[in-house]
Amino acid sequence: MKTTKAKNPTREDCKKYELAITNYVLGQALKVPKETLWEHLKTCRACRRDFADWQDTYEVMKTEAYYNTPAGQQKMKESFQALKKRMTPPQSVGVPGRIPIDIRGNIKQTARTLYDLLKTNGETSVPVLVEKTRLKEYYIQQAIGWLGGNEKITLAKDDKTAYVRLLPE
């Protein structure tokens, strides 16, 4: 049986989805069916990137609005104080008693582990990834960043948990 690969959409094809992406992120009415938008996003890397950019922009706008309130200012002050307490000088090759770390190798190895696990199990929450890999969460987060930056995964969240899913190849 012969299978045909979906054609890559052109930027012209994408124009009708630009407003839908913005409206979806802002929680406004869509002029195209939501299912049609999702199908387009599955096949269009440029629109997935636009969608992610709009989500990031909206999160920044919401965050800025919150941090301009007295409660937000207090929270930011407390966060910076806690961060200052935890900060330590970075490890480097030239410091006696410290072992250099192959950061790129560690992140790539962890990313490969996550990729294989997601390929086997499908969408998985971050706590389950930590549990199944037995790695520290910050290694998992670094690998998620690497995989996301290379457009291999997508993230979703509910009130308390983040979920990671592979993007279709």
- C-alpha 153/C-alpha 167 separation (Å) is 5
pLDDT computed for residue 100 by the predictor: 53
128 lies in some domain: yes
- Residues 119, 74 share a domain: no
Parent domain of 24? 11-83
pLDDT computed for residue 80 by the predictor: 65
- Residues 109, 78 share a domain: no
- C-alpha 1/C-alpha 87 separation (Å) is 59
CATH code for the domain of 149: 1.10.10.10
- Residues 55, 26 share a domain: yes
- Residues 60, 117 share a domain: no
5 lies in some domain: no
Tens-digit pLDDT string for the chain (169 aa): 444 445 667 777 788 888 888 888 888 888 889 999 999 999 888 888 888 888 888 887 777 777 778 887 787 777 767 656 655 444 444 555 555 555 566 788 888 988 999 999 999 999 999 899 888 888 888 889 889 888 899 988 888 888 999 998 7
4 lies in some domain: no
Into how many domains does the chain fold? 2
- Residues 121, 77 share a domain: no
95 lies in some domain: no
62 lies in some domain: yes
